[in-house]
Structure 1
């Protein structure tokens, strides 16, 4: 009986593990092993909680960097990031205390923390505005915010030219809603007009800040961290207001990415103070840099409205995959899972693995997912009441508690990193590399 081709190959080259396999092949590496930080590798991250809105009509500042002890233990915290095997950190500089006035800055704390990150070879995704502004700016109703904030962003980029990744403004939609629609933070207003005013000022500030960053780093990568939300209404006849709210969740990214919203949203903008000239400015084009759509997802981001009108938190009905895939279809941007946690430390390991299943499924769909973030490194304070009152309740959502002792989820994350730490952004996409050339605007063909 004649030999088949496979027998000839085995006779000549052996039974697998052929010479040359070490250079990669159709299967590529399996991606196991702790992250290396190589270009093209998936970015596993955590973050330092750094919110600093005001409450009590501006009389009380909630600075979570202080309340969680980071100002005193910053070197220890950064060492924990390194010890866990992470190469990437979402890190927020305290804008409210650093920008002392036009052209005036306090760099003392930032210089120390940034130098230590550089020494430890941690890549920061630098967060420049996290829910609050300096007292001298006031709040998000101030139309001068885009000018002042752009100046700050440019100064940061010039002082730390080695930084490439930025989140100019964290969760623009949440910032505007909590400050101007829900009446909880900063200006504490409760009107559609105040919400639209805050929204246009914050998005404009993000755009102009990106312009200033790009002057220093033309190859900057902008990771826009935005809340991925959805309201499930269980009524036979849908309410027009809730239908509108499910569209308004896109508003910040629509304005940021020059994506025309639906007609009812546009009418809402015009009815509440946005001028046609302002709208056309937002729609003129995208900001510079490589734009990454970061979606933050907590189970409490999904809400159910019962027939009675009662509201309950649905916890993971659609999940990060389904909600983020809807955002991806809308904007066609590379994706990053930029925040997640749960308040019950016992549930955290399972929640971590569930989020990872969502990411693996998104990758299987061919969507370029750049990274994942457990937020945050350390437990937080009073986030169960959205920082609305200064109670001091510890939320056990960190990889480590406030004594810097590891929680169960830290070991689960370490296990995840050891299994998947060297996967590439595009599965088996060894040729994929984030270029160092300036980003170019997309061209429709």
Structure 2
């Protein structure tokens, strides 16, 4: 789930009906290029909803993807091979995903706990069986799922029972499952009397999450095909300032950046510890597993710091971006504060790198020199401790956090809440192409470029959808067109996730208030009645395997 602040932000195993081959038209392109013609051909469907399904071809400023180094190319080839082995060779069957929303945060007043699995009724065996039949009838066989972590007590085996049935039934139906070990929502046990040591800031949470991850992985390993450690880490870090878990300290609070940085390091520490714990389990039993690193692809035209640094910071820390290891910590610790202050301010905001931003936003956000010294010491300690965890993963298991990992970008219309002019952007799908054409909206293609060029990993779309379901086919066709263009330009794209699988509640309020104060978000492939929405037929009947074929071509280029 990807939500925007205070405003709505939402929304295979395929044979026959999911994708349909069409004969080549005279003069049409062949190979990867042909897929754009095929996706655009959805307008030829004889269907009452055809006018709502016709995509508008994007006007893109295209460029080749940033080329990988030889080491990155080898790493990517190994990940792509693992994806093929785990999910299937690139085809519609392996390319198309959906996902069960599983968020379970506390609201901003910490009085109400969400449980999205319960809200969709999916802990009920009969209802779950009906959904499984519907999913299989559509031809989908790849699903992202998660757990209601707050229900599970690691010292009580019976507390897993509802999840055992949930995961077991989906796996028994032959579905390829990717398990989010932490979707949204930290357990109540990490609430302390002080907000600065509560939830993600609780000193015991990272190690607990590593233990939880190993036990969950060991429990479900034979039923799942892939793992996400921390879903959308930037959203997880930021939304706890306003929407969830006591909403501390608030986005406009002067402490926000300091707490944001500390939460980002805590979540990164938890993620790397969890990866080490899972690799220990794999070493004990043999084999490898596929990891999906999901992140919300967000753009804020008025915030250079956010676009250049902040939106990447949690993923940088988790994935071990190079800057993390290039900082001379001894020099940083010993340098006089006035010299570091000059260094933090020497670059204009639009050119500020991560190191300068951390110094400026964390160390020098206060004028008190004693507090500056304390923050500097803490920052050096956080960087050093996280580096040691990354080094431990490499030394003990011969892996980095980018090995065996697909970067999954989540994109909804509200990922760009405001346009370049500063005006709020309407999220209606029929306006998307025009907004992009006049430069108000950056769009999915450029977002894919941003994240691929930064991390140079194989990618997929981890979530996308729209609550304006009459235009659902158009939205997904346009997203697929831009995904296809990114593939043509050299980005290995291994999957595309139509999200969520079932309508859910509360996205229009970012899960910040109780369910009784919200409404149903109508972005699901299935309504809450478990009837499939008509748009899904219009979309699926209009596609063939050309988008997936481009993924194969891109993967071959990398290899």
TM-score for the superposition, normalised by structure 2: 0.65
Q: Which residue of 2 aligns with 1:188?
A: 247
CA distance, structure 1, for counterparts of residue 217 and residue 297 of structure 2: 28
User: In the alignment, is residue 364 of structure 1 matched against residue 506 of structure 2?
Assistant: no
Q: Which residue of 2 aligns with 1:296?
A: 410
1:71-116 superposed Cα distances (whole Å, 9 cap, x missing partner):
2222322332222111210001111112x15676622122212222
1:363-396 superposed Cα distances (whole Å, 9 cap, x missing partner):
1012111100011111121201211223231111
Match of 1:331 among 442, 448, 455: 455
CA gap 1:347/1:118 in 2 versus in 1, 3 angstroms: same
Q: Which residue of 2 aligns with 1:408?
A: 534
Q: What SS does the corresponding residue of 2:466 show, helix, strand or coil?
A: coil
Match of 2:301 among 218, 232, 236: 232
Aligned alpha-carbon RMSD (Å): 3.0
Q: What SS does the corresponding residue of 1:426 show, helix, strand or coil?
A: helix
CA contact (8 A) 2:490 2:557 kept: no
Greater RCO (CA < 8 Å, at least 6 residues apart): 2
CA contact (8 A) 2:109 2:246 kept: yes
CA distance, structure 2, for counterparts of residue 428 and residue 132 of structure 1: 36
CA gap 1:328/1:428 in 2 versus in 1, 3 angstroms: closer
Moved more, 112-121 or 328-337: 112-121
Q: Which residue of 1 aligns with 2:169?
A: 116
Q: Which residue of 1 aligns with 2:379?
A: 275
Match of 1:204 among 269, 281, 288: 269
Q: What SS does the corresponding residue of 1:427 show, helix, strand or coil?
A: helix
CA distance, structure 2, for counterparts of residue 319 and residue 421 of structure 1: 18
CA contact (8 A) 1:176 1:199 kept: yes
CA distance, structure 2, for counterparts of residue 429 and residue 332 of structure 1: 13
Q: What SS does the corresponding residue of 2:523 show, helix, strand or coil?
A: coil
Q: What SS does the corresponding residue of 1:70 show, helix, strand or coil?
A: coil
CA contact (8 A) 1:298 1:340 kept: yes
1:430 to partner: Cα distance = 7.9
1:232 to partner: Cα distance = 1.5
Q: What SS does the corresponding residue of 1:230 show, helix, strand or coil?
A: coil
CA contact (8 A) 1:172 1:252 kept: yes
CA contact (8 A) 1:335 1:368 kept: yes
Q: Pairwise mapping of residues 20-31 of structure 1 onto structure 2 (< 5 A)?
A: none
1:103-130 superposed Cα distances (whole Å, 9 cap, x missing partner):
7662212221222222221111101112
CA contact (8 A) 1:102 1:148 kept: no
Match of 2:99 among 47, 50, 54: 47
1:43 to partner: Cα distance = 2.5
CA distance, structure 2, for counterparts of residue 105 and residue 331 of structure 1: 41
User: In the alignment, is residue 387 of structure 1 matched against residue 511 of structure 2?
Assistant: yes
Q: What SS does the corresponding residue of 2:418 show, helix, strand or coil?
A: strand
1:408 to partner: Cα distance = 2.4
1:169 to partner: Cα distance = 1.2
Q: What SS does the corresponding residue of 2:511 show, helix, strand or coil?
A: coil
User: In the alignment, is residue 160 of structure 1 matched against residue 212 of structure 2?
Assistant: no
CA distance, structure 2, for counterparts of residue 127 and residue 43 of structure 1: 19
CA gap 1:122/1:128 in 2 versus in 1, 3 angstroms: same
Unaligned stretches of 5+ in structure 1? 1-25, 234-241, 434-445
CA contact (8 A) 1:380 1:394 kept: yes
CA gap 1:85/1:430 in 2 versus in 1, 3 angstroms: farther
CA distance, structure 2, for counterparts of residue 156 and residue 432 of structure 1: 33
CA gap 1:428/1:201 in 2 versus in 1, 3 angstroms: closer
Q: Which residue of 2 aligns with 1:438?
A: none
CA distance, structure 2, for counterparts of residue 172 and residue 105 of structure 1: 30
Q: Which residue of 2 aligns with 1:170?
A: 231
CA contact (8 A) 1:47 1:90 kept: yes
CA gap 1:389/1:127 in 2 versus in 1, 3 angstroms: same
Q: What SS does the corresponding residue of 1:187 show, helix, strand or coil?
A: helix
CA contact (8 A) 1:213 1:220 kept: no
Q: How many residues align?
A: 393
CA distance, structure 2, for counterparts of residue 196 and residue 429 of structure 1: 35
CA distance, structure 2, for counterparts of residue 128 and residue 158 of structure 1: 12
Q: Which residue of 1 aligns with 2:141?
A: 87
CA contact (8 A) 1:363 1:426 kept: no
Q: Which residue of 2 aligns with 1:74?
A: 128
CA contact (8 A) 1:27 1:428 kept: no
CA contact (8 A) 2:180 2:228 kept: yes
1:319-338 superposed Cα distances (whole Å, 9 cap, x missing partner):
11101211111110111100
Moved more, 142-151 or 76-85: 76-85
CA distance, structure 2, for counterparts of residue 385 and residue 161 of structure 1: 35
Match of 2:304 among 243, 246, 255: 243
> Which has a greater percent of strand?
1
1:27 to partner: Cα distance = 6.9
